[in-house]
Amino acid sequence: MQSLKLSRLVIISNSEKSANQFEFSKTLNLIIANDNSVGKSTLLKLIFWTFGCEPEFDTTWKAKDCTSLVEFEISGKKYIIKRYKSQISLKEPDSTVENYEKITGDFSQKIAEIFDFKVLLPNQSTSQLETPPPAYYFLPFYIDQKRSWSKAWDNFENLGQYKNWKETIIKYHIALLTSEHFEIEIEKTDQKFNQNFINKEIDKIETAIDVVSEYIPQQLTTVTSVEGLNILTENIKLDLAKLQREQENLLTEISLNNSELSHLQHQKEITEKIIFELDSDYRFTIENIPDDEIECPLCGTIHDNSIVSRSSILVDKTQAEIQLKEILKYLENVLSKISKSNFKLEDNKRLIEEINSKYVVLNDDADPINFDQIIESIAGKNIKENVERSKIEKVNEVHEITKSIKKLVKEQKQLVTKETIQERNNTFISIFKAYLKELTYDSINLSEIDSPLDYNKVIKEGGAAEGTRGILAYYLSVYKMVEKYQNEILFPLVIDTPNQQEQSDLNYEKIVNLILKNFSNNQVLLSAMENANLAPLKSISNIIELTSDKLLDKSKYKLLSLEQILL
């Protein structure tokens, strides 16, 4: 399968005038140190940070304000990526450098394209499907020292911007979801959008029906159609029919305009709220946020707060104000139409009253019925019939869309058979059991674990040291499945400090042997403290030894700082 190979990491701190670079072999790489605070974890985190992820850095490192650069290969083709804050530059083979001002949007789509990562997730605000940030691709390839050993699929910060994403992401990584699934998902989302739009139209129609009911009396059983006017004299029959049609048209106009008025007033309230919020946002960014970045307190997403970004808030506010003016203009126009229609309706009623003063008919109960009641009854009945007919058409459209969505759901289910799902689960359990056996962890209750989706059950099993080996076996099993089913570009396996919970020498040796036996043909980056049990790994690995100078070296700044300019 196609795999990505990391070649080199460059780190530059312009504030401290220091830099460093680290080269990686295409197989095993061991990052070691005698001191636990020299930056082993930070080195690994910087690789993912450069690609647009948000690993957990301490405040001391964040203050260094670093630029990082990663060189990597896919199928022998060289790529270079550079990041400073949220700004990313990407150099693809035989292409010019592309610059991106933020992680989401175009950059996320480009990285997904390069890595053949076809996942789409629904935006929480709009429900529209979108390519998620790169972190969701990197999740199965990185075991973080702090986060991964206590909670699965939580290797990076800011993963809360989507709801219920884990099942979708896991299934894609193990090829239970394919690009065809998301192509159908796009169609489903479009259908649901149309369905919601039509439902809003139905709400407008129901508003129109309510408006008509306010303007007309209860329908009379005496006369329910124009034919009922045959009881009138031939001299007034044509006049009454004309008045009936005029009143019907006026009532239709009034009902539609009132419905439009309700809609515009709602749009006016929304737009006024948007203007207020944009104004508040702009004042907040000017008065309270001195930096060029701001972190969302809800989902943790890093947003741009540069001059360009703040200016864009003003542009959005101006556009919203222009939209509000248009809405107010339409409101004024609709109110004018309603006023004119009401005036005409009153005039129409006056003419009817003139006839009514001369002619009265009796119903079956000998009760007098005025002609204005007859005409309004006919007009109201016809309008209601027309509006109800329109509503029925819309309801039928919604019904057809619902059927279409069900058909699409069925198509999605047919993409992956039950046999395929069972095969994936069996493969996972087989690999998982084998790794557990190699790690001599046999106290886990496997009857509760059926698939890679049972990660929470794995986390809860066993004591501290045993449980850690179980979690490691889980992550390595998922990695092997990604490699086996080839649903995306395979990224190197990155493990930050596998000797968690102070494993015994024997158990640590088994962890090292498991990695050597099953992953020596993969590119692996592993960080660890110096330990005699690492000897088999050290003998065949590219060694990166960190000293007390940690990650940055002032003597290398002059040369390496040029690289950030060239890209």
Domain ranges within the chain, ordered by starting residue:
4-178+416-566, 218-390
List, as one string, the DSSP characters of 511-544.
HHHHHHHHHTTS-EEEEEE--GGGHHHHTTSEEE
Q: What is the pLDDT of residue 309?
A: 61
CA 403 to CA 203: how far, in whole Å? 21
- Cβ contact 80:69 at 8 Å: yes
User: C-alpha 467: how far from its chain's center?
Assistant: 33
Residue with tokens 């124009």: 226
Q: What is the pLDDT of residue 522?
A: 96
**Overall pTM surpassing 0.75 (yes/no):** no
DSSP state of 92: -
Averages of pLDDT over runs of 10 residues in the chain (567 residues) are: 94 93 96 81 96 92 92 96 95 95 95 97 89 97 85 90 94 95 93 89 80 59 47 58 78 81 84 84 68 56 58 78 88 87 82 66 53 62 75 88 92 93 96 94 86 91 74 95 96 88 80 94 94 92 86 91 74
CA 109 to CA 144: how far, in whole Å? 25
Q: What is the pLDDT of residue 218?
A: 53
The SS3 of residue 155 is coil
Strand partners, 24: none
Q: What is the pLDDT of residue 525?
A: 97
**Domain spanning 4-178+416-566: which CATH class is it, in words?**
alpha beta
Q: What is the pLDDT of residue 411?
A: 92
The SS3 of residue 284 is helix
CB within 8 Å of 280: residues ≥ 6 apart: none
> Nearest 5°: phi and psi at 358?
-100, -30
- What token pair was written down for 379? 């007009």
- What token pair was written down for 312? 């864009």
CB-CB neighbours of 161 under 10 Å: 20
Cβ burial, residue 366 (10 Å; 0-12/13-18/19+): exposed
Q: What is the pLDDT of residue 103?
A: 94
- What token pair was written down for 316? 């959005």
CA 237 to CA 463: how far, in whole Å? 94
- Cβ contact 208:394 at 8 Å: no
CA 301 to CA 77: how far, in whole Å? 32
- What token pair was written down for 191? 């259908």
- Strands (DSSP E) contained in 409-539 are 493-496, 524-529
**What amino acid is encoded at 200 in this protein?**
K
DSSP state of 132: P
Among residues 468, 522, 478, 525, the alpha carbon closest in space to that of 499 is found at 468
**What amino acid is encoded at 179 in this protein?**
S
Write down the architecture of domain 218-390 according to CATH. Answer: Orthogonal Bundle (1.10)
**What amino acid is encoded at 494 in this protein?**
V
Q: Give the CA distances from residue 59 to residues 64, 374, 523, in Å, rounded to whole numbers and listed in that order.
A: 9, 81, 30
Among residues 54, 48, 34, 550, the alpha carbon closest in space to that of 299 is found at 54
- What token pair was written down for 170? 């896991």
- What token pair was written down for 242? 């004309």
The SS3 of residue 135 is helix
